[in-house]
Structure 1
Amino acid sequence: MNKVATYRIYLTRSLPSLSYSVCLMEKLHLLALLLPILLGLPLLYIWDILWMRPERLRKKLRKQGVRGPRPTLFYGNTQEMKRIRQEAVSAQKQDTSNYISTLFPHFLIWRETYGSVFHYSTGAVEILFVSDPGMVKDMSHCTSSELGKPIYIQKSRKPLFGEGILVSNGDIWAYQRKVIAPEFFMEKIKVMIELIGEASVPLLEAWESMLDDAGGSREIDVDGYLRNFSADVIARACFGSDFTTGEEIFYKLRQLQKAISQQDTLVGLSAVWKCLPTKANREIQKLEQEVRLLILDVAKEHSRGSSSRNNDDDNDCIETKHNSFLRSIVNSSRHCPASYGGSAEDYIVDNCKNIYFAGHETAAVTTTWCLMLLTTHPSWQDRARAEALEVCRGCTKLDVDVLRRLKTITMVIQETLRLYPPASLIVREALTDFKLGALNIPRGTIVQTAVAMLHLDKDVWGQDAGEFRPDRFTNGAAAACEPSHMYLPFGHGPRICAGQNLAMVELKVVLVRLLSKFAFSPSPGYRHAPLFRLTIEPGFGMPLVVTKLP
């Protein structure tokens, strides 16, 4: 074979490999061109989310004269908030009137520096903080289409609240409110008073037994018992069962609350970490699924019970009138708005979780703070007890007319709600561009106010704003401060708490029962350290010395 023939054979055999090599080089070249774009687009998106969008909102607010601390990339002002809190905790010892200076010291410092309206950042979220009385009033007049629950709260609290009434917006919220609010009108609460009294019996019997064994007086960590009592009330009133049936639901919701509040302490890119398969996130998912199955079991049991009662001409009125809430939720789940993203089961679970949590958590915490304040102010405890004994004399049956005569106890409750409001922060998102006072608020801005700061404002309440003085409510809540809209323990505006009537009745009943049987005094083991876990609660429990009355 000559050289030409050999070369032709070599070329024929080499062409495929050469062609492959050329093709591979072309692909590598194309990849080299696309790689910066593929990497750059996510980076640009992150840059836009973390800096450009918040900066655009900040510029619009700055042009209107609103100032605030300078944020950093990724972290916003959260690192500064963390530093201020650490310095505040190490610099001072808490008493009954200064927990704001350790829980929210950054608000106090920034208000002093920038005024009653300022803006700050938590990374991807730009927040307009408002404590000006005029703007607070304007917030209460905003419609639900202007101010709604923030999207970031909907996402971060979804395991706890789902798309329930506490976090939903738009036509979903309006539909839920229309279904749920009538269940807490005063006419329905009236028939629950006897039920609440029955729920207090296990609590009273447990304490009496403990005190009898201890010679009439001993230290009791009261907050756990009060939480169980309040859970029993909401279980009986809304779900036609007792605490035993819902005990596991309440326990797991409590664990969910703690887990989520711990995540909320993360800063900067915390939203990213919540999406990762960490141990904490797996535990939250597990608790969420367990709560879901437990609530569906309650709903199914209710449905079976309803079917059997419908076949019985002699329906038990007591059985049906105290579970109308669950019946309303189940029935309304079949007609959810089209914008609701879940199934009928999701709707039932979400709204039951909302009521299980909100219905017992806030009332339990308020009762706990009530007893603490009465313990540290014995003269008011004596006055409240005298009123309770007067009401209970001759085993008077508690009804709405009797509860209305409880002037002193009502003032004690109102003052407790002023000093320790359950919902200490009101947070809304501008769902559209709108005007608040003299400011044009851009869509996407988070508008926030600290209820506790409003309730302790000396310009509104006087120089004794930090003191426990129930007599400031002698002429009612509207006359207790000027302007009156600065007192908002149950929120304000269209989203004011639907269950406030039930909460007030429950608080009055339990205080009458407890004060007529026991006296309370301070415990050496009590450490005053209010903690923010979605509500303001005792950080180390509430041990009190409880003495049985003769």
Structure 2
Amino acid sequence: MEKHLSVLLSLSCFMFLTMILRLLYSIWWKPKMIEKCQKGQGIHGPPYRLFYGNFKEMSKMAKEAASKPMKCTHDVMPRLDPFLQKNMLIYGKLFVIWLGIAPRVVVMEPKLIKEILNDKSGDFEKPQIHPLKTLFVTGLASYDGEKWAKYRKIINPAFHIEKLKGMLPAFSICCDEMIEKWEKLVGLEGSCELDVSLEFQKLTADAISRAAFGSSFEQGRQIFQLQKEQCKLYMDSYYMTAYPWLSFLPNRTKARMREIHKEVQVLLKGIIQKRENAIKRGNSIKDDLLGLLLESNLAELRENEGLKGNGMTIEEVMEECKLFYFAGQETTADLLSWTIIALSMHSDWQEQAREEVLKLVGKSSPSFDELAQLKIVTMILQEVLRLYPPAFPTRSTHRRTKLGEFFLPAGVQIYLPSYLIHRDPELFGEDVLEFNPRRFSEGVWKASKDQNSYFPFGGGPRNCIGQNFAMLEAKMALAMILQHFSFEMSPSYAHAPALPITLKPLYGAQVIVHKL
């Protein structure tokens, strides 16, 4: 008996010691080895601190920045990301920071950016999906390799420019409803204060609901509301991405996220199965995003009948629908919010844009060809995307990987902070902190000294599949607003750019709207 107890005790001690050693390896030995390796190649950065990495300094600097009021200026980095700006000034355009125990290499050199974004070898993959993100949204943006290539091929037809033309009436209906609402709010007084960020969230949610689900858009609205709550819960638990083992501990946030995930799955499954049954009965395929996706998926299944893994499952179609919602709604709402803020700050450009719209379109709803001719409106949107980009590409290494003349070990995150790169005077000129849409007068490629330095929707083969969708919707909304209203900054507006997931005005976008 004593012998057995002794063996059990020895085994327990061994297992406990093994766990301690593994923990020490993950929180100290491995990070310090990576740090030493990077320094040896000339990739420097703030020192790794046990367990927390650089989180404490990041948090302290962010709180200090948030405690001070900010002027209405496009020089937002001291408020938006003071930690990153500080380290760029110290270490240059390539350095490493620590998100807990996870190393993140920050890359701002155009040649290296091009190498990362145009990679086809699979060396620079999307970061591993965190368990909580699977409850929020995955889809095409999370895939790599053959799976990504196959699904991109299936989804591409739904976003072809000719197909997007057919969605213009849905955008127009949503914009008409918003304009009508604003006219009622303005009333006899001729003006009122509006938080346009809230207005654009509703507009883009309705637009994506109509464009994605057609006649089922009311159910689409329900899905949007649930996904909006899911996004907030995911951000509340984002710190767990630095310490993956924390995601396995039970808590209320996870429980609610699971509930929402199930509700969204039930709603989406009902819409998709109803549409699939209609297609099987021989009904015509509807010209909305879901219909186009199902049509393309059906073609893939027929082409590769009998092959393993051909086409998308209903669960995978559901994930793409959720991605439509998040990416399509958030990015366009933020783009429109920042555009109205910028044009409120720069009334001369507001007037130029309005003159162009009234001259080319008049007071009617713009057609696709008319939207394509709006050069000043396009330049304005491109400049807003430079200053307030929606996408910040992140990649990771799954093996020892060469980047330029450097070698990165496995398990390193790579971050391309477009909001900082787009403010580099060496690339965009000395007026880089000014709002100057004219820099895009000869197109995107000539706006900077290196065409790889402007990537508001990502770049290379993995560029955002929905960027034409977003730009078309934004042009339509902005043109129709300019037809009916002028606007100026409200005294209640507090300029506070923030990075929850996408770059947005933290306290809203309050403007005074005047009826023309």
TM range (shorter): over 0.9
Q: Does 1:302 align with 2:275?
A: yes
Residue of structure 2 in register with 1:12 after alignment: none
Shift of 1:411: 0.6
Shift of 1:114: 1.7
Q: Give the total of aligned pairs.
A: 513
Query: 2:102, 2:242 within 8 Å by CA — same for their partners in 1?
Result: no
Residue of structure 2 in register with 1:177 after alignment: 152
Shift of 1:56: 3.5
Q: Distance in 2 between matches of 1:346 and 1:57?
A: 38
Residue of structure 2 in register with 1:533 after alignment: 500
Q: Does 1:389 align with 2:362?
A: no
Pick from 190, 195, 199: which aligns with 1:225?
A: 199
Shift of 1:390: 1.5
The residue matched to 2:192 in structure 1 has which SS?
Answer: strand
The residue matched to 1:435 in structure 2 has which SS?
Answer: strand
**Cα–Cα, structure 1 residues 144 and 280, in superposed 2: closer, same or farther, change >3 Å?**
farther
Q: Does 1:514 align with 2:481?
A: yes
- Where structure 1 has 5 or more consecutive residues not aligned to the other structure, the ranges are 1-22
Residue of structure 2 in register with 1:434 after alignment: 401
Letter in 1 for 2:131: K
Pick from 424, 429, 433: which aligns with 1:457?
A: 424
**CA offset digits 1:424-483 (Å, max 9, x no partner):** x21101234332111122232211110000111112112221111111111111111111
Letter in 2 for 1:233: A
Query: 1:75, 1:268 within 8 Å by CA — same for their partners in 2?
Result: no
The residue matched to 1:520 in structure 2 has which SS?
Answer: strand
Map residues 256-271 of structure 1 onto 2, 5 A cutoff.
256-265=230-239, 269=243, 271=244
Shift of 1:121: 1.6
**Cα–Cα, structure 1 residues 332 and 273, in superposed 2: closer, same or farther, change >3 Å?**
farther
Q: Distance in 2 between matches of 1:35 and 1:236?
A: 60
- Where structure 2 has 5 or more consecutive residues not aligned to the other structure, the ranges are none
**CA offset digits 1:252-285 (Å, max 9, x no partner):** 111111111122246863x333322111221222
Query: 1:528, 1:538 within 8 Å by CA — same for their partners in 2?
Result: yes
**CA offset digits 1:266-305 (Å, max 9, x no partner):** 6863x33332211122122222222211211221232244
**Cα–Cα, structure 1 residues 321 and 448, in superposed 2: closer, same or farther, change >3 Å?**
closer
Letter in 2 for 1:262: D
Q: Distance in 2 between matches of 1:320 and 1:456?
A: 40
Shift of 1:394: 6.8
Shift of 1:344: 2.6
TM-score scaled by length of structure 2: 0.93
Residue of structure 2 in register with 1:58 after alignment: 35
**Cα–Cα, structure 1 residues 68 and 444, in superposed 2: closer, same or farther, change >3 Å?**
same
Q: Distance in 1 between matches of 2:337 and 2:99?
A: 32
Q: Distance in 1 between matches of 2:241 and 2:154?
A: 37
Shift of 1:375: 1.0
Pick from 505, 518, 522: which aligns with 2:472?
A: 505
Letter in 1 for 2:133: R
Pick from 135, 141, 147: which aligns with 2:112?
A: 135
**CA offset digits 1:368-404 (Å, max 9, x no partner):** 1111111111111111111111222273x63332122
Q: Which moved more, 1:404-413 or 1:538-547?
A: 538-547
Residue of structure 2 in register with 1:274 after alignment: 247
Residue of structure 2 in register with 1:158 after alignment: 134
Residue of structure 2 in register with 1:10 after alignment: none
Query: 1:299, 1:326 within 8 Å by CA — same for their partners in 2?
Result: no
**Cα–Cα, structure 1 residues 208 and 216, in superposed 2: closer, same or farther, change >3 Å?**
same
The residue matched to 2:215 in structure 1 has which SS?
Answer: coil
Residue of structure 2 in register with 1:7 after alignment: none
Q: Does 1:95 align with 2:72?
A: yes
Residue of structure 2 in register with 1:44 after alignment: 21
**CA offset digits 1:307-331 (Å, max 9, x no partner):** 45x25xxx5x8x4466433424764
Query: 1:521, 1:545 within 8 Å by CA — same for their partners in 2?
Result: yes
Residue of structure 2 in register with 1:292 after alignment: 265
Shift of 1:44: 2.5
**Cα–Cα, structure 1 residues 353 and 274, in superposed 2: closer, same or farther, change >3 Å?**
same
The residue matched to 1:468 in structure 2 has which SS?
Answer: coil
Map residues 365-514 of structure 1 onto 2, 5 A cutoff.
365-393=334-362, 395=364, 398-423=366-391, 425-514=392-481
Q: Does 1:244 align with 2:244?
A: no
Query: 2:131, 2:247 within 8 Å by CA — same for their partners in 1?
Result: no
Pick from 177, 184, 206: which aligns with 2:181?
A: 206
Query: 2:497, 2:506 within 8 Å by CA — same for their partners in 1?
Result: yes
The residue matched to 1:516 in structure 2 has which SS?
Answer: helix
Query: 2:106, 2:415 within 8 Å by CA — same for their partners in 1?
Result: yes
The residue matched to 1:42 in structure 2 has which SS?
Answer: helix
Letter in 1 for 2:219: T
The residue matched to 2:141 in structure 1 has which SS?
Answer: coil
Q: Distance in 2 between matches of 1:226 and 1:484?
A: 30
**Cα–Cα, structure 1 residues 343 and 472, in superposed 2: closer, same or farther, change >3 Å?**
closer
**CA offset digits 1:346-370 (Å, max 9, x no partner):** 2122111111111111011101111
Q: Distance in 1 between matches of 2:92 and 2:465?
A: 33
**CA offset digits 1:503-530 (Å, max 9, x no partner):** 1111111111111011111112211112
Identity %: 31
Query: 1:144, 1:169 within 8 Å by CA — same for their partners in 2?
Result: no
Q: CA RMSD in A?
A: 2.5
Query: 1:457, 1:465 within 8 Å by CA — same for their partners in 2?
Result: yes
The residue matched to 2:512 in structure 1 has which SS?
Answer: strand
Q: Distance in 1 between matches of 2:437 and 2:9?
A: 73
The residue matched to 2:499 in structure 1 has which SS?
Answer: strand
Q: Distance in 2 between matches of 1:357 and 1:321?
A: 17
Deviating 4+ runs (over 6 angstroms): 332-340
Residue of structure 2 in register with 1:117 after alignment: 94
Shift of 1:94: 4.8
Q: Does 1:107 align with 2:90?
A: no
Query: 1:228, 1:243 within 8 Å by CA — same for their partners in 2?
Result: no
Pick from 170, 191, 196: which aligns with 2:171?
A: 196
Shift of 1:134: 2.2
Q: Which moved more, 1:328-337 or 1:33-42?
A: 328-337
- Bigger radius of gyration among the two: 1
Letter in 2 for 1:354: L
**CA offset digits 1:200-224 (Å, max 9, x no partner):** 1211111122222x52211122222
Q: Which moved more, 1:202-211 or 1:432-441?
A: 432-441
Query: 1:159, 1:285 within 8 Å by CA — same for their partners in 2?
Result: yes
Shift of 1:137: 2.3
Shift of 1:534: 0.8
The residue matched to 1:155 in structure 2 has which SS?
Answer: coil
Q: Distance in 1 between matches of 2:37 and 2:195?
A: 51
Q: Which moved more, 1:172-181 or 1:342-351?
A: 342-351
Q: Which moved more, 1:99-108 or 1:88-97?
A: 88-97
Shift of 1:191: 2.5
**Cα–Cα, structure 1 residues 445 and 374, in superposed 2: closer, same or farther, change >3 Å?**
same
